[in-house]
Amino acid sequence: MRLPQEIIRDKRDGRALSEADIAGFIGGLTDARVTEGQAAAFAMAVFFRGLSLDERVALTRAMRDSGSVLTWDLPGPTLDKHSTGGVGDTVSLALGPMVAACGGFVPMISGRGLGHTGGTLDKLASIPGYDVAPGLDRFRAVVREAGCAIIGQTADLAPADRRLYAIRDVTGTVESLDLITASILSKKLAAGLDGLVMDVKAGSGAFMARDEEARALAQSIVTVANAAGLPTRALLTDMDAPLACAAGNAVEVAYAVDYLTGRRREPRFHAVTMALCAEMLVLGGLAADRDRAEGRLQAALDTGAAAETFARMVGALGGPSDILEASDRHLPRAPVVRSVAVENAGTVVAVDTRAVGLTVIGLGGGRTRPQDDIDPRVGFSDLARPGDWLGVGDPLGIVHAADEAAAERAAAALRAAYRIGATAPAARQAILERVG
């Protein structure tokens, strides 16, 4: 391959890269011939200069081909969903079991937290014993046995993306449309899927905050995925407020258990989860249309089949078999749990959702460096929603913290993230648009 610095220079100066250049650079990233500094420079050059469609497809394929590509022999379609990330986005934990309970197979390869957003893998890692990095043989066996398995990238699957993903998180290049597209699709193509549904977030808690940016990303992913042979659809969904009323790791697992068992089903979270699941069932030929798909999914929830599937997945990957009945006993709890009282009466007009996510990181629930450990206990629960009326002293939410000082800092940050006013905001739809 050409020297990495020459490839970086070409992209820095706005020149198109050849397929061979991209394949060579990604090969070097995989076997460590490309340094961390060079990878960071490449990411920054792409961030500012962008990639053409041909370059995006070449980057996606090169990252896919940096490791193994799975094939499946199952009595149903292999389907997956991917979210571009948000705050309180607990959908994957419910979605995989719901789709599996309806006859699909969901081999979901998820990531750690990125920027201000939570990561599905970090949430599952808060379950004692849950193996987020099983070998491929165990991964295959759990997908066949339980119908779904949510794990992290193994050393075999898209290893170049795993390295670049960590570098993007700490170099200010997370929001690159081109790098997001290649990162997501390299893992999904390596998973050997029959269909993919994308959840592209828009709003104050999304990487692509404006609707037009989110639409461009959705179109990029759908176009590149289909060009690479993976049937894909996308939904634009709202992230102007945390999707669930919980934000953190263990607190979101508890929320997912409550959702699956019917103890709590918030309307917006339910609407987004059902819409994504329905698209997957239709894409996989498991339902004729979205209405019929939603009927099947509701039955999977109501009968407990989806919850039981979640429990089977957790147990098969080493977690407690009684997670549904005893989540309070198994999930780690923060030593300081207290209410954050509102100081002025009024209606929740807006939430700076990104600020809420950053506050969770400040509590220790996310990373500022790739090597940082995460405290799975911390975060927020019972967060107030836009349109809620609160009297003086009513809770904006409940903070879960490692100590009193951290709880006080987080409480102040949460109050600053909420705007309280006299007039309820106009309702924003949970599902903004369908693409593809």
Q: 282-306, pLDDT tens digit by residue?
A: 999 999 999 999 999 999 999 999 9
Catalytic residue list contains 83: yes
DSSP string, 1-44: ---HHHHHHHHHTTPPPPHHHHHHHHHHHHHTSS-HHHHHHHHH
Cβ contact 105:74 at 8 Å: yes
Catalytic one of 21, 65, 80, 131: 80
Question: Distance (Å, rounded) from C-alpha 164 to C-alpha 37?
Answer: 11
> Which pLDDT does position 117 carry in this prediction?
66
Catalytic residue list contains 238: no
State the average pLDDT over residues 56-63: 95
Catalytic one of 56, 116, 140, 188: 188
State the average pLDDT over residues 136-151: 96
Question: Distance (Å, rounded) from C-alpha 197 to C-alpha 38?
Answer: 33
Catalytic residue list contains 183: yes
Cβ contact 43:177 at 8 Å: no
Cβ contact 55:15 at 8 Å: no
Cα 12 → chain centroid:
30
Catalytic residue list contains 11: no
Q: Tokens at residue 284, please?
A: 């996989």
DSSP state of 392: T
> Which pLDDT does position 31 carry in this prediction?
92
Catalytic residue list contains 186: no
What would the 3-class secondary structure string for 75-140 be?
CCCEEEEEECCCCCCCHHHHHHHHHHHCCCEEEEEECCCECCECCHHHHHHCCCCCCCCCCHHHHH
Question: Distance (Å, rounded) from C-alpha 183 to C-alpha 165?
Answer: 7
Task: Please choose, from the candidates 19, 9, 14, 15, the residue with its C-alpha nearest in 3D space to the C-alpha of residue 1.
Answer: 19
Fold of domain 4-50: 1.20.970
From 2.60.40.10, 3.90.1170.30, 3.40.640.10, 3.90.700.10, which CATH number describes the 334-421 domain? 3.90.1170.30
> Which pLDDT does position 426 carry in this prediction?
86
pTM given for the model: 0.88
Q: Where in the chain is the domain with CATH 3.90.1170.30?
A: 334-421
> Which pLDDT does position 43 carry in this prediction?
96
In 212-341, DSSP assigns E strands to 232-238, 247-248, 336-341
Torsion sign across C-alpha atoms 306, 310, 328, 383: negative
What is the pLDDT confidence band of residue 118, given thresholds at 50, 70 and 90?
low
DSSP state of 322: T
What is the pLDDT confidence band of residue 436, given thresholds at 50, 70 and 90?
confident
Q: Where in the chain is the domain with CATH 1.20.970.10?
A: 4-50
How is the beta sheet containing 232-238 ordered, strand by strand? 79-83, 195-202, 232-238, 431-435
Q: Which of 6-10, 94-98, 201-205, 384-388 has the weakest average pLDDT?
A: 201-205
Catalytic one of 112, 116, 123, 168: 168
Catalytic one of 11, 56, 61, 81: 81
Cβ contact 230:280 at 8 Å: no
Catalytic one of 82, 201, 367, 377: 82
Catalytic one of 187, 215, 367, 377: 187
* 63: pLDDT strictly greater than 80: yes
Cβ contact 192:72 at 8 Å: yes
Catalytic residue list contains 168: yes
State the average pLDDT over residues 188-210: 90
> Which pLDDT does position 366 carry in this prediction?
84
Torsion sign across C-alpha atoms 281, 204, 57, 44: negative
Type and span of the H or E element at 366:
none
State the average pLDDT over residues 237-263: 97
What is the pLDDT confidence band of residue 113, given thresholds at 50, 70 and 90?
low
By DSSP bridging, strand 379-381 and strand 431-435 are: unpaired
What is the pLDDT confidence band of residue 84, given thresholds at 50, 70 and 90?
confident
From 3.40.1030.10, 3.40.50.300, 3.20.20.70, 3.40.640.10, which CATH number describes the 79-327 domain? 3.40.1030.10
* 169: pLDDT strictly greater than 90: no
According to the per-residue pLDDT averaged within each range, which of 16-20, 120-124, 227-231 is highest?
Answer: 16-20
State the average pLDDT over residues 211-216: 91
3-class state of residue 381 by DSSP: strand
> Which pLDDT does position 204 carry in this prediction?
87
Q: Where in the chain is the domain with CATH 3.40.1030.10?
A: 79-327
> Which pLDDT does position 115 carry in this prediction?
61
What is the pLDDT confidence band of residue 110, given thresholds at 50, 70 and 90?
confident
Catalytic one of 30, 83, 126, 154: 83
* 368: pLDDT strictly greater than 90: no
Catalytic residue list contains 188: yes
* 162: pLDDT strictly greater than 90: no
What is the pLDDT confidence band of residue 52, given thresholds at 50, 70 and 90?
very high
Catalytic residue list contains 80: yes
What is the pLDDT confidence band of residue 114, given thresholds at 50, 70 and 90?
low
Question: Distance (Å, rounded) from C-alpha 348 to C-alpha 384?
Answer: 8
> Which pLDDT does position 423 carry in this prediction?
87
